[in-house]
Structure 1
Amino acid sequence: MRVRTFSIFLMALIFMSLSIVPALASSGETISTKQQQQMVNVAHRGASGHAPENTMDAFQKAFEMKADYIEIDVQMSKDGELVIIHDTTVDRTTNGTGFVGDLTLEELQQLDAGSWFSEEFADEEIPTFEEVLDTYRGKIGILIELKSPALYPGIEEKVAEALVERNMHKPNNNKIIIQSFNYESMQTSKALLPSIPHGVLAGLSWADVTDEQLAQFATYADFFNPNMNIVTHDLVDRVHAKGMEIYPYTVRTQEQANKLFELEVDGIITDFPEYVDQHPGEIENS
């Protein structure tokens, strides 16, 4: 009788354990999926792991991959036109040479901005700011970085004029963000466009940023977007305590993305949007 009772008890335990394990797995998956869905996916210079950076092909690829934002770098040509390119020279990403600010828009758009990445993208042009706005307004968020604004006096006003002209200075769902490493520029831009969220970019030298410095940033910035290598739980908590969000840059591997998921950042700036969309649990089990 005792043997039979023990056998029944043992079977019951086994049945319970089989029922509990899937339930726990399901619960964990739900939490991870929710976390993943809340993570803002920013395609760095477009989906620049798949197409030449800061080109319409890269932006279109990011749109097709369902990124939340494309990140673009804005500079100014010799004749005062806003153009999308990262470096202050055209040497690295085109077949030309020289400083962006020393070339007219016509000269810039005669350059091949795609072949350096792949012959598939030969003759891809440097786009204008207005071209990007007109193509993607209402379709995908745009994170606008003012690149080296000190080289281009008045660039903040020109960006503001382009956005106001298109009624994009009061965006729905914060689909326009402006950021820069130049904090004076961000203060100027915020004064011109108070309804648009602004962010400050922070390099490795900001690893020991103080609460006082974060509080100062928070007087005009809505985002503190640092190099991913200085991000810790403590930094994330302190940024949140000042009422700002944090979008670290630049993720180029799945492992880097997973680490930022664990640190509970608000968004990730990446060359590969699929790394942010990929469920962390699926990576571990694949």
Structure 2
Amino acid sequence: MTLIFAHRGYSVSYPENTMKAFREAEKVGAEGLEIDVQLSKDGQVVVIHDEKVDRTTNGKGFVKDLTYKELRNLDASYENKTFLKKERIPSLEEVLEWLTSNEIICNIELKNGIFPYEGMEEKIVELVRRYGLSDRIIFSSFNHYSIIYCYRLAPEIEIAPLIVEGLYMPWVYAKSIRAKSIQPKYIAAPNEVIIKSMENGIDVRPYTVNKEAEMRRLFDVGCSGFITDDPAKAIRIRKQYKK
């Protein structure tokens, strides 16, 4: 079965990277979540995509320049006036604690391509182990040095390089860094690459797949999974295929 990963949660309908978006993704039946992590000024692992808070909250400035308390005071649902209470930027710990109550797989993307966030790998490995979730976590990043370091710290936790352009024989590269999967941009994942990677024991989870035609292509080829802003749509289409 092609697994559905909710990109920053059910982000087409709810504020991205919030507990609300994660819970709603679970409700519609997504098997996985894709979340992004960075470090606050005082070293807390927080769940937010952009290096700045400006786009997704009512605040301004870089995540790295704000304390955890300052980040928690921001409203991540400020653009949605129908919300009765404000959604906060979650800590990774809050997400992991919630994951212990369900069976969801969580892809944690390390957002350390622009700012290095020294010590982030150690912090997330320690948290994942503390909550006993090593078998349900995937570490991904465009910073492949970072996930290779994660593998060295915690070889029991899966790593998946994010790939933005066509990579020649990506299954060979994946095996060379001990990755069990790859996460290419969907346009960099033609059918033959998906099939060959899977034949070589490497799972493929393209991102960010929102168009029905692309979803159907991936279902048709039996892709391992994909990452989408609209998990409800993906699950609705998947139901039309035989298990």
Output the TM-score relative to the length of structure 1.
Answer: 0.78
Q: Which amino acid aligns with 2:189?
A: V
Partner of 1:161: 126
Structure with greater Cα Rg: 1
Question: Would the aligned equivalents of 2:216 and 2:237 in 1 still touch at CA under 8 Å?
Answer: no
Partner of 1:186: 147
Q: Once the 2 structures are TM-superposed, how far is the Cα of residue 232 of structure 1 from its aligned partner?
A: 1.1
Question: Would the aligned equivalents of 2:174 and 2:202 in 1 still touch at CA under 8 Å?
Answer: no
User: How large is the Cα RMSD of the aligned pairs?
Assistant: 1.8
CA deviation profile, 1:65-87 (whole Å, cap 9, x unmatched): 11101111011000000000000
CA separation in 2, counterparts of 1:120 and 1:188? 42
For the residue of structure 2 that corresponds to 1:120, the secondary structure is coil
Q: How does 1:274-285 map to 2 (within 5 A)?
A: 274-279=232-237, 282=240
Q: How does 1:108-257 map to 2 (within 5 A)?
A: 108-116=71-79, 118-121=80-83, 123-139=86-102, 140-148=104-112, 150-169=115-134, 171=135, 175-203=136-164, 206-207=165-166, 209-211=167-169, 214-219=171-176, 220-257=178-215
Q: Once the 2 structures are TM-superposed, how far is the Cα of residue 194 of structure 1 from its aligned partner?
A: 0.8
For the residue of structure 2 that corresponds to 1:75, the secondary structure is strand
Q: How does 1:259-270 map to 2 (within 5 A)?
A: 259-270=217-228
Which consecutive residues of structure 1, in runs of 5 or more, have no partner in the other structure? Answer: 1-37
Instruction: Tell me the matched-pair count.
Output: 237
Q: Once the 2 structures are TM-superposed, how far is the Cα of residue 151 of structure 1 from its aligned partner?
A: 2.4
CA deviation profile, 1:99-120 (whole Å, cap 9, x unmatched): 100100011011111122x112
Q: Once the 2 structures are TM-superposed, how far is the Cα of residue 229 of structure 1 from its aligned partner?
A: 1.3
CA separation in 2, counterparts of 1:94 and 1:281? 35
Change (3 A) 1:83 1:278: same
Which consecutive residues of structure 2, in runs of 5 or more, have no partner in the other structure? Answer: none
Output the TM-score relative to the length of structure 2.
Answer: 0.91
Partner of 2:54: 91
Partner of 1:65: 28
CA separation in 1, counterparts of 2:29 and 2:225? 14
Question: Would the aligned equivalents of 1:146 and 1:178 in 2 still touch at CA under 8 Å?
Answer: yes
Q: Which amino acid aligns with 2:112?
A: S
Q: Segments of 4+ in structure 1 off by > 6 A?
A: none
Q: Which structure shows the bigger proportion of residues in helix conformation?
A: 1
Q: Which amino acid aligns with 2:160?
A: G
CA separation in 2, counterparts of 1:138 and 1:73? 20
CA deviation profile, 1:208-267 (whole Å, cap 9, x unmatched): x112x5413223211111111122121112322442100001122322211222233110
The equivalent position to 1:81 in structure 2, one of 41, 44, 57, is 44
CA separation in 2, counterparts of 1:248 and 1:85? 20
Question: Would the aligned equivalents of 2:208 and 2:227 in 1 still touch at CA under 8 Å?
Answer: yes
Q: Which amino acid aligns with 1:201?
A: L
Q: Once the 2 structures are TM-superposed, how far is the Cα of residue 282 of structure 1 from its aligned partner?
A: 4.6
Instruction: Tell me whether 43-52 or 143-152 shows the greater mean CA deviation.
Output: 143-152
| Amino-acid identity (%) | 37
Q: Which amino acid aligns with 1:110?
A: N
Question: Would the aligned equivalents of 2:195 and 2:221 in 1 still touch at CA under 8 Å?
Answer: no
CA separation in 1, counterparts of 2:171 and 2:209? 23
Q: Once the 2 structures are TM-superposed, how far is the Cα of residue 138 of structure 1 from its aligned partner?
A: 4.7
